[in-house]
Amino acid sequence: MLSHTQIWAAIDALAARYGLTASALARKAGLDATTFNKSKRQTPDGRLRWPSTESVAKVLDATGASLDEFMTLLTARKGEVRSTVPLIGLAQAGTGGFFDDAGFPTGAGWDEIAFPNVPDENAYALEISGDSMLPLLRDGDIVIVSPGASVRRGDRVVVKTVAGEIFAKELRRQTARTIELQSLNPEHEDLVFDMKDIDWVARIMWSSQ
């Protein structure tokens, strides 16, 4: 039998996988922003509240997640979910030696940050520097990045160039030859690169805004 804790943990994990907070996930699904708040998971007298099947269906539709994906999160054993992820500053990450050729974290020099319910064992955290993603991401915000996740238009991404520059941007368009990156802050210009000048692109799954 599935427990109350399992179901709410799966919703939290799904939100993190798609780069959302629980409140943002609810809004994306067309629900009240407080629907998935931790304070709503019990009544004032201590009785457990469960998410409705309708709200779960709306969440899956809004994120494009499959039922199988949700069930995987729902039935994950506690030991399969990491409680910490590697952490490094965005500016420091561009100095070299912290990633392999595919953008997976490697080498020494990483710190750690406590972050439960991360379904990707290769996920890592970056501390944002600069203001090119204001008002969405601020200097000092933490983002959780999944190097193995698929990337599509509109996703927030971290991009490393062959020259060693690292950017946190929104993916506007990617073809076999070029990639277009959008800065949400209008004071910063958008960027266009030849794909031959890109080392790797990784999807931002969660941010601390």
> Running along the chain, 209 residues long, what does each successive block of 10 average in pLDDT?
82 82 90 90 88 92 84 65 75 81 82 70 85 78 86 91 90 95 88 95 81
Query: 54 - beta bridge partners?
Result: none
Q: Return the pLDDT at 186.
A: 84
- Please give the single-letter amino acid code of residue 200: W
Intervals of CATH 2.10.109.10 along the chain: 83-207
pLDDT at site 182: 92
The answer to whether the CB of 78 falls within 8 A of the CB of 6 is: no
- pLDDT at position 83 is 59
Query: Rounded distance, CA 164 to CA 193, Å?
Result: 13
b or e along 81-100 (b: 16 or more beta carbons within 10 Å of the residue's beta carbon)? eeeebbbbebebbbeeebbe
pTM: 0.59
From-to residues of CATH 1.10.260 in the chain: 4-76
* Protein fold of 4-76: 434 Repressor (Amino-terminal Domain) (1.10.260)
- To the question of domain 83-207 being in CATH 3.40.50.2000, the answer is no
Q: What integer pLDDT is reported at residue 55 of this predicted model?
A: 93
Furthest CA-CA distance within the chain: 60
Task: Specify whether the CB–CB gap between 122 and 146 falls below 8 A.
Answer: yes
Three-state SS at 196: helix
Helix (H) or strand (E) holding 24: helix 22-28
